[in-house]
Amino acid sequence: MDESLALIKYEKLSTKEKMILYFFIYAFIGWCLETIYALMVFGYFVKRGFLFGPICPIYGFGAVLLILILDKFKKNNNFIKFLISMVAFSIFEFAASWILEIIFHQRWWDYSDAILNIQGRICITFSLLWGFIGVIFSNIIHSFVDKHINKLFYKIPFKLQKTSVYVLCIILLVDVVLSVIKYI
* Cα angle: 93, vertex 98, 100; to 5 degrees: 95
**What CA–CA distance (Å, rounded) separates 100 from 106?**
7
Q: pTM here?
A: 0.84
**What CA–CA distance (Å, rounded) separates 82 from 69?**
12
Per domain, the residue ranges of the chain are 13-145+156-162
Distance in angstroms between the alpha carbons of the first and the last residue of the chain: 60
Using an 8 Å Cβ cutoff, are 55 and 27 in contact?
Answer: yes
φ, ψ of residue 43 to 5 degrees: the values are 85, 5
Using an 8 Å Cβ cutoff, are 176 and 51 in contact?
Answer: yes
pLDDT at residue number 113: 95
Q: What is the DSSP string of 118-138?
A: ETTTEEHHHHHHHHHHHHHII
**What CA–CA distance (Å, rounded) separates 184 from 106?**
10
Q: What is the DSSP string of 30-45?
A: HHHHHHHHHHHHHSS-
> pLDDT digit of tens for each residue in the chain (184 aa)?
444 444 445 578 999 999 999 999 999 999 999 899 889 988 888 887 789 999 999 899 999 999 999 888 877 799 999 999 999 999 999 999 999 899 888 888 899 999 999 999 999 999 999 999 999 999 999 999 999 998 998 899 999 999 999 999 999 999 999 988 887 7
**What CA–CA distance (Å, rounded) separates 40 from 42?**
6
